[in-house]
Amino acid sequence: MCVPIPKPPLRIFPKRRLFSCLCRLFAKKVNSPQGQEEARQANNHSTAHDAQVIAFAMYAGNMKVAREVINAIPRKRLFTQIEPDGKQPHELRRTLAFGYSQFNLSHFIDKQC
């Protein structure tokens, strides 16, 4: 019979260190060339980028950026990525169209929570 070996307890991550780490990640997500490229995509990449920027901005207390991204969702994401009949043409061109379409929708829902 195998007895599981207990893992060492997780080190508690201090709140201010987590805050600092997420603030740096937020800045990188918004300012880096890679982050800006993700924001320009016309598919689930930009939707995921927005969801992360909103979450990081809110955690960092930067409600101005969070509101700007939220207010731009209909114009920049919803109307450009989802047709009136519900099709997501940018996702449907991909090899795993259903999965990418579902992934994109889940990020739209993430933004609402």
**Number of CB atoms found within 10 A of residue 107's CB:** 18
pLDDT digits (tens, 9 = 90+) for 54-107: 999 998 889 999 999 999 999 999 999 999 999 999 999 988 999 999 999 998
* R_g of the chain, CA atoms, integer Å: 18
pLDDT digits (tens, 9 = 90+) for 25-52: 889 989 999 999 999 999 999 999 999 9
pLDDT bucket at 17, cuts 50 / 70 / 90: confident
pLDDT score at 110:
80
Assess contact for 103 and 88: CB atoms under 8 A: no
Token pair belonging to 55: 């979450």
What's the mean pLDDT in 12-35?
86
Report in angstroms the alpha-carbon separations of 88 from 35, 85, 111.
23, 9, 18
pLDDT score at 89:
94
pLDDT bucket at 8, cuts 50 / 70 / 90: low
Assess contact for 104 and 47: CB atoms under 8 A: yes
Report DSSP state, residue 109. H
The rounded distance, in Å, linking the Cα atoms of 104 and 10 is 33
pLDDT score at 98:
92
